[in-house]
């Protein structure tokens, strides 16, 4: 059976997350249902990462095995037709080796978190940013984020229900920038690592927001990290500002 890599974009707002749910809508369930309309199922797909309810993606990657030898240019068109009107789109497709795996073959992941800091509520970006009514000090946030980069025990920034075997991860980079968008300036936080713990990015963002608002000093981020105690974490940022932006592989399956 040919195996295909799918690059997936979705608005996570109406979904209970990526993972298939028995009684709630999921991104995985939507794609598997679309696949069943192309070929008899059941179909089980795997993804590079399981995003939570309300979390979005611009660069999620999934895999599927099909009986038919599909043209990688035609398969996304067929799937997108059957995915309508759900906010899910297959933006790229490639046939890959039988032992290629969307999750286990990945060598890195990058997440983006968007913050809109202004008094007026978002109209066009509602549900896609974390709206804050107060300004943030980006230099202070960068100083706090510098303590997080590297190989650490991230117990403080790990969900209590995280199933990872170890809380030790290497955060390759944490970049914070101000970005002009059509609806005004946003603060974008970029995090890159081989893999992440459950709720790690949202926990990091919530803690850095405390630094940017002046409630914490940048050095307190290091103290929270060293504590290895979930109680030392700042508030967890809401899901609607988070995006799985990119997944890296030794060779890009979507490269021409």
215-256 pLDDT tens trace: 999 999 999 999 999 999 999 999 999 999 999 999 999 997
Output the CA torsion sign for 84, 89, 92, 93: negative
Query: 116 and 64, same structural domain?
Result: no
User: Which positions are catalytic?
Assistant: 52
Number of domains in the chain: 2
Domain CATH number, residue 165: 3.30.70.660
Q: What is the DSSP string of the chain?
A: --EEEEEEEE--TTSSBSS--SSS--HHHHHHHHHHHHS-S----EES--PBTT-EEEEEEEEEE-SS---TTHHHHHHHHHHTTSSEEEEEEEEE-TT--TTTT--EEEEEEEEEESSSPPSSSTTTSEEESS---HHHHHHHHHTTSEEEE-GGGS-TT---S-SEEEEEEEEEEEEEETTEEEEEEEEEES---TTHHHHHHHHHHHHHTTSS-HHHHHHHHHHT-GGGS-PPPPGGGEEEEEEE-SS-TT--
Instruction: Output the pLDDT for position 37.
Output: 95
Q: Which domain holds residue 210?
A: 108-246
CATH for 66: 3.30.70.580
Among 105, 133, 150, where does a domain finish? 105
Q: Identify whether residues 116 and 101 lie together within a single domain.
A: no
pLDDT band at 197 (very low <50, low <70, confident <90, very high): very high
Q: What is the pLDDT of residue 182?
A: 86
Both 125 and 226 in a single domain? yes
Q: Is residue 230 part of a domain?
A: yes
Q: For residues 90 and 177, state if they share a domain.
A: no
Q: With respect to residue 253, please indicate whether it lies within any of the assigned structural domains.
A: no
Look at residue 118 and tell me if it is in a domain.
Answer: yes
Whether residue 152 is found in the same domain as residue 238: yes
Of 82, 107, 49, 92, which Cα lies nearest the Cα of 244?
A: 49
Domain presence at residue 77: yes
Residue 112 near residue 239 (C-beta atoms within 8 A): no
Domain boundary among 90, 105, 120: 105
Flag whether 200 is in a domain: yes
Cβ atoms of residues 249 and 107 within 8 Å? yes
What was the pLDDT predicted at 82? 97
Distance in angstroms (rounded) separating the CA atoms of residues 190 and 178: 11
Please give the pLDDT value at position 183.
Answer: 80
Query: Which pairing describes strands 46-47 and 130-132: parallel, antiparallel, or unpaired?
Result: unpaired
58 and 179 assigned to the same domain: no
Examine the domain organization and report whether 166 and 241 are in the same domain.
yes
Dihedral sign of CA atoms 146, 175, 235, 54 in order: negative
63/74 same-domain check: yes
pLDDT digits (tens, 9 = 90+) for 7-49: 999 999 999 999 998 899 999 999 999 999 999 878 999 999 9
210 touches 147 (CB < 8 A): no
42 and 113, same domain (yes or no): no
Q: Of 105, 126, 157, which residue constitutes the final position of a domain?
A: 105
Q: Same domain for 128 and 77?
A: no
The 10s digit of each residue's pLDDT in 150-184 is 999 999 999 988 889 999 999 999 999 999 988 88
Domain membership flag for residue 69: yes
**Do 4 and 75 touch, CB atoms closer than 8 A?**
yes
Provide the CB-side half-sphere exposure for 240 (13 A, CA).
Answer: 13
Dist CA 221 CA 34 (whole Å): 44
Can you give the pLDDT at residue 1? 85
Specify whether 23 is located in the same domain as 47. yes
**pLDDT tens by residue, 121-154:** 999 999 999 999 999 999 999 999 999 999 999 9
Asked if the structure places residue 213 within a domain, the reply is yes
pLDDT of residue 108 exceeding 80: yes
Tell me, yes or no, whether 255 lies in a domain.
Answer: no
Instruction: Check whether residue 63 and residue 144 sit in a common domain.
Output: no
**Chain mean pLDDT for the chain:** 96
The whole model's pTM is what? 0.96
By residue count, the chain amounts to 256
């Amino acid at each position: 059976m040919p195996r295909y890599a799918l690059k997936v974009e979705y608005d996570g707002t109406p979904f209970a997350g990526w993972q298939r749910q028995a009684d709630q809508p999921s991104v995985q369930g939507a794609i598997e249902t679309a696949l069943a309309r192309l070929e008899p199922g059941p179909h089980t797909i795997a993804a590079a990462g399981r995003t939570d309810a309300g979390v979005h993606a611009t660069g999620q990657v999934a895999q599927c095995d099909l009986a038919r030898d599909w043209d990688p240019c035609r398969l996304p068109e067929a799937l997108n037709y059957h995915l309508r009107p759900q906010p899910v789109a297959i933006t790229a497709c490639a046939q890959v080796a039988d032992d290629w795996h969307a999750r286990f073959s990945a060598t890195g992941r990058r997440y983006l978190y968007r913050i809109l800091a202004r008094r007026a509520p978002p109209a066009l970006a509602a549900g896609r940013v974390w709206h804050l009514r107060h300004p943030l000090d980006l230099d202070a946030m960068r100083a706090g984020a510098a303590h997080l980069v590297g190989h650490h025990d991230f117990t403080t920034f790990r969900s209590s229900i995280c199933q990872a075997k170890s809380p030790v991860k290497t955060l390759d980079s944490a970049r914070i920038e101000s970005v002009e968008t059509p609806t005004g300036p946003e603060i974008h936080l970029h995090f890159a690592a081989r893999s992440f713990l459950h709720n790690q990015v949202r926990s990091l963002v919530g803690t850095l927001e405390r630094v940017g608002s002046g409630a914490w000093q940048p050095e307190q981020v290091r103290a929270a990290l060293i504590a290895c105690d979930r109680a030392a974490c700042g508030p967890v940022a809401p899901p609607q500002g988070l995006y799985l932006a990119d997944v890296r592989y030794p060779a890009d399956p979507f490269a021409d």
